[in-house]
Structure 1
């Protein structure tokens, strides 16, 4: 309620309102690759194996920290001189994003799948790069007391962008064609260019002496860039039982990533129309995901990080279980809506608990870097699981596929116990010394 009144207070301030539009264009491209494209490929007859491998085109989302220092430190000739560091980079990336989305829509995957793969990767790369710039702009533009409301406005815009690209592309495809839908999304994305031109550039905050000591950042210093990337991985290695931590991330994502990846092919196989998928999965599902995230925050605040993670993981197990029930029932609209609702709600709860847990274990130096790298491992786990799930789904029935997924989702509890045991041993050893 307090946050609602804050939104009413700040919504008329241009720099706060602009964050919602910038958040919108951040959320717009993602579902065009991970949701709409798999449905498109399923409709024209591609195997689940091919569709699964297409998720590899989203790798830039999980590796963007590799080139983030370049965008942060280096200036583009002319553009950055005229518009500033953040706006110059944003405009350049947004133009290429506009072109790549149109290219994806015109790529004709039925006859030129390699071209489709290229443009899908290009969309992901441009979108991930845009996220780097816009996140930096948001952080530097907001004052300390505006961070909460600014982040909320950006989050609202991001979800609206997902709604428009997820549901909107399916509605437009059912009325016209996939090419028209993608071209329309590209032009809607011009909101980002217009907003970037209208907002004011901000001066980058000075790097603190602590960060400078860790990364030894100097202007246009490529060695500093390489050192920053190296420090990102070294930060993870200092965690007790870090291989188990990576394994925990992997198994925790099973209950969420695999159903999300194979939802489009399953819905098409069960003969649900594009309108039915848009109404249930992209509209109702998004609302349930937001509600789940809200509930997940309450759960974590009440029971703590560890118990919140366990509860979130258990709730996520309901996702493949409901897909199992749907695959057995076939084309049943009631079961379809219930499945989408539970899957989206569990995704919201599990993701919130997961992010909170990762935030909690990042302590000491390199806190922000540790979280960024751990979250990148999480994204990479999603990509790997999504990629191999298509091959598995091609060789078994849908019921068998989701039954095995449900069982695998439970393993995260065992890995969590082993990870905590490894940490406790380190603590005991240090106390003895």
Structure 2
């Protein structure tokens, strides 16, 4: 393994190591499902006549990415019958999640949002979000465990490249295919979208083949061997806790609608009232889930020691390593770092469409050209992080990400202008790639190898939780304040991030990944 990487030539050669190359293909598998929930699905729903506000609500289907830390301990400790012995712990879960992704995409393809209720599509999208988030948990653990720290920056850059290629396939590729099969905004054809999503499901075989060919990483931490009934008890606890969480949302739907109407009359803002009510519903659901878990843990059904090792020890380790104040500062930074990009990204495709750009133009400029700019930014961010330190590039990425959101204000003022679109996409995707590479390396450095899957899942879940909740209301915010003010708001959301990085840099000295 490379002990020290100093020259640009050595940096470039490091991209050819087997572990780094493997991350390219796993990144494709990880990036492909995302846009099938976000932008591609949003265009499908818009063509089917679904309102803009309802379209952006579908971004909540990807909240599985933000709550994956809840079931990450199960992925970390539960062996899969037969499959774990054949492929190993990481690869077995990776294969299972990929098969679940394929099944979820196929399920979505058999639902016509114009003929069926949106509830069916929402359920299918949630299943896709859950299965793809599970795949992310395993791939993140695999990435950290399969290479030494000095390669993590390059592993992150290659993973981002693959991730963006997967997003290109599911973004531009899906739009090109849908147009080729004959659907358009004024001439909706369900069969075209069905064929497109079924081809996307077949493309996920890239991940399946990679999983079967790659090597299981060496075990760098203890693997607990508990009786089968203890694993089943832990799984039962998780299933009942999730059922309790869902039940709270199901039975409180009518009360929530009434509460939103009453509260909006007092605050004179329906969107704000909706955010408050939904946040309280989430707290209620989480409280019920925790109560169910606590009750079951006190019974012989669940092994308390297994629960502590799976859920408590990873959290305890993080706070013991950094101390309470520093740990809270780092968690705040993790939770807010991507807020500008994610909130804007939820409605970006709808914005392009409202500006008059066709699906082919969106696919060519935003998805295809933007992909290469993101990959370039990712590679640049990985190399710069290795040479100059992650914290410096983390700050640079935050500045650029917030600043480039202001360019969208200019694009909204300009209207349809293909040259301006190229300029905005160039700046936005280049900065996003650079920031993402530094951020992934930063998150990897915070992770203890003894609790890889759980701790990284907590970090990456926290990274997207608040931004995705806010992003679900982006359609309503745009209808209220307009695109220009909305883009200004997303840029201002990045200011607190700069303060958090500056505070963290004074107390937290993160060396360059190569050191």
The alignment's TM-score, normalised by the length of structure 1, stands at 0.80
Cα displacement string for residues 150-207 of structure 1 (whole angstroms, at most 9, x for unaligned residues): 777655443332222222111101111222111101012123334444x377486263
Q: Give the Cα separation in 2 of the matches to 1:75 and 1:96.
A: 17
Q: Structure 1 residue 37 and structure 2 residue 33: aligned?
A: no
- State whether residues 391 and 505 of structure 2, in contact with CA within 8 Å, keep that contact through their aligned partners in structure 1: no
Change (3 A) 1:46 1:240: same
Partner SS for 1:77: coil
The alignment's TM-score, normalised by the length of structure 2, stands at 0.69
Change (3 A) 1:38 1:77: same
Q: 1:391 aligns with which of 470, 476, 480?
A: 476
- State whether residues 154 and 383 of structure 2, in contact with CA within 8 Å, keep that contact through their aligned partners in structure 1: no
Q: 2:357 aligns with which of 272, 275, 283?
A: 272
Q: 1:252 aligns with which of 337, 360, 365?
A: 337
- State whether residues 232 and 373 of structure 1, in contact with CA within 8 Å, keep that contact through their aligned partners in structure 2: no
- State whether residues 68 and 129 of structure 1, in contact with CA within 8 Å, keep that contact through their aligned partners in structure 2: yes
How much has 1:127 moved relative to structure 2?
A: 1.4
Q: 1:53 aligns with which of 37, 51, 57?
A: 57
Q: 1:205 aligns with which of 208, 219, 225?
A: 219
Q: 1:403 aligns with which of 488, 496, 509?
A: 488
Cα displacement string for residues 43-96 of structure 1 (whole angstroms, at most 9, x for unaligned residues): 334334323322221122233233233233323334445555444434433322
How much has 1:234 moved relative to structure 2?
A: 4.0
Q: Give the Cα separation in 2 of the matches to 1:349 and 1:159.
A: 13
Please, which moves more after superposition, 70-79 or 176-185?
A: 70-79
How much has 1:406 moved relative to structure 2?
A: 2.4
How much has 1:147 moved relative to structure 2?
A: 7.8
Partner SS for 1:29: helix
Q: Give the Cα separation in 1 of the matches to 2:442 and 2:343.
A: 21
Partner SS for 1:240: helix
How much has 1:142 moved relative to structure 2?
A: 6.5
Q: 2:96 aligns with which of 85, 92, 97?
A: 92
Long gaps (5+) in structure 1: 425-433
Please, which moves more after superposition, 296-305 or 114-123?
A: 296-305
- State whether residues 68 and 457 of structure 2, in contact with CA within 8 Å, keep that contact through their aligned partners in structure 1: no
Q: Give the Cα separation in 2 of the matches to 1:276 and 1:58.
A: 26
1:55-74 map, 5 Å:
55-74=59-78
Q: Give the Cα separation in 2 of the matches to 1:74 and 1:359.
A: 23
- State whether residues 140 and 202 of structure 1, in contact with CA within 8 Å, keep that contact through their aligned partners in structure 2: no
Q: Structure 1 residue 191 and structure 2 residue 206: aligned?
A: yes
Change (3 A) 1:151 1:351: closer
- State whether residues 305 and 360 of structure 1, in contact with CA within 8 Å, keep that contact through their aligned partners in structure 2: no
Q: Structure 1 residue 174 and structure 2 residue 179: aligned?
A: yes
Change (3 A) 1:224 1:30: farther
1:305-316 map, 5 Å:
305-316=390-401
Q: Give the Cα separation in 2 of the matches to 1:82 and 1:300.
A: 37
How much has 1:114 moved relative to structure 2?
A: 0.9
Long gaps (5+) in structure 2: 1-8, 182-191, 235-303, 509-515
Number of equivalenced pairs: 411
Please, which moves more after superposition, 275-284 or 373-382?
A: 373-382
Q: Give the Cα separation in 1 of the matches to 2:315 and 2:90.
A: 26
Please, which moves more after superposition, 383-392 or 256-265?
A: 383-392
- What is the alpha-carbon root mean square deviation over aligned residues? 3.6
